[in-house]
Amino acid sequence: MGNTSCMFCTCVEQGNIGVVERFGRFEKLAEPGLHIFNPFAGQYLAGILSTRISSLDVRIETKTKDNVFVQLLCSIQYRVVKAHADDAFYELQNPDEQIRAYVFDVVRALVPRMNLDDLFEQKGEVAKAVLEELGKVIGDYGYSIEHILMVDIIPDPAVRTAMNEINAAQRLQLASVYKGEAEKVLQVKRAEAEAESKYLGGVGVAKQRQAITDGLRENILDFSHKVEGTSAKEVMDLIMITQYFDTIKDLGNSSTNTTVFIPHGPGHVRDIGEQIRNGLMEASTAQINVE
């Protein structure tokens, strides 16, 4: 990795550590810098190891407790321990394969005891278990596990589709509940508004009838005082006849072409007056009873 050497000297770059042997036997570790060797005494640089953090991605396919096949993508970050670089150099021929094998073993022993939902919720616990177990084993070979990240959990495509459909159905069900509650509140408010409207309308009609009754009574009393010899009944008949002709006049001046046939003989006018008078007296009596 960019290290230079000749027969008598070798330069070990920063971030690396060298392994020095004498006659094929480990002698010492060479720190970064310039090192001079005596080849005639059998001393030479056997190899160089990087002490930088390395990353290894491991994809594992396994089955959960509820019989769902999933793929887990783990990212393992490890490095060579400087003090034990000789163990890393001599003990493991292919550290990546060894780490991958241990990760497979731990994950496939732990995940089958968890349901799929628990696996998504506790993926950090899975990574922690892998870190603890792998750290115990790989530490004896001069390596240190820095971090283990559970990058992704990928269920079978059919399972993912089913999970999405279940989630969508639950959300639709919840939306239906909220919609029903909203419609219920709307209907209650509409009924309350209608009841209040009818109540206010009834109050308005009662006040209108009371106002008409009071106005007629004042007119009758005023007319009786000003015109001597007239009775209340005669004044009432006169008012009814006047209102009757005013109504006919309004119908005639209307812009519409609707024709209304109204009996207009003296007897009919008297009957209409009696009906209006009786209605007003009944309204006045009802208003007095309410009060």
143 found inside a domain: yes
Q: Tell me, what CATH number does 98's domain have?
A: 3.30.479.30
Residues 143 and 61 both lie in one domain: yes
This prediction's pTM: 0.51
What is the model's pLDDT at position 273?
60
What is the model's pLDDT at position 2?
46
The range of the structural domain enclosing residue 122 comes to 54-155
Run means of pLDDT, 10 residues per run, the chain, 291 residues: 56 87 86 84 85 88 84 88 86 85 86 84 84 83 86 78 74 81 86 85 77 70 65 66 69 61 56 63 57 55
The span from the CA of 2 to the CA of 247, in Å, is: 115
Residues 23-26: contacts with CB within 8 Å, 24+ apart? 26/86, 26/90
In this structure, the number of other CB atoms found within 10 A of the CB of residue 277 comes to 16
Number of domains composing the chain: 2
Residues 64 and 41 both lie in one domain: no
Residues 123 and 138 both lie in one domain: yes
Residue closest to 277 by CA, chosen among 208, 228, 224, 212: 212
Q: Which of 155, 184, 205 is the last residue of a domain?
A: 155
225 found inside a domain: no
Distance of CA 43 to the CA centre of its chain: 69
Residues 148 and 71 both lie in one domain: yes
200 found inside a domain: no
Are the C-beta atoms of residues 107 and 61 closer than 8 Å to each other?
A: no
What is the model's pLDDT at position 134?
83
**C-alpha separations of 46 from 15, 25, 95 in Å:** 17, 10, 18
What is the model's pLDDT at position 5?
46
The span from the CA of 67 to the CA of 8, in Å, is: 63
182 found inside a domain: no
Query: Backbone phi, then psi, for 33, in 5-degree steps?
Result: 135, -170
141 found inside a domain: yes
Residue closest to 137 by CA, chosen among 109, 104, 100, 99: 99
Are the C-beta atoms of residues 102 and 120 closer than 8 Å to each other?
A: no
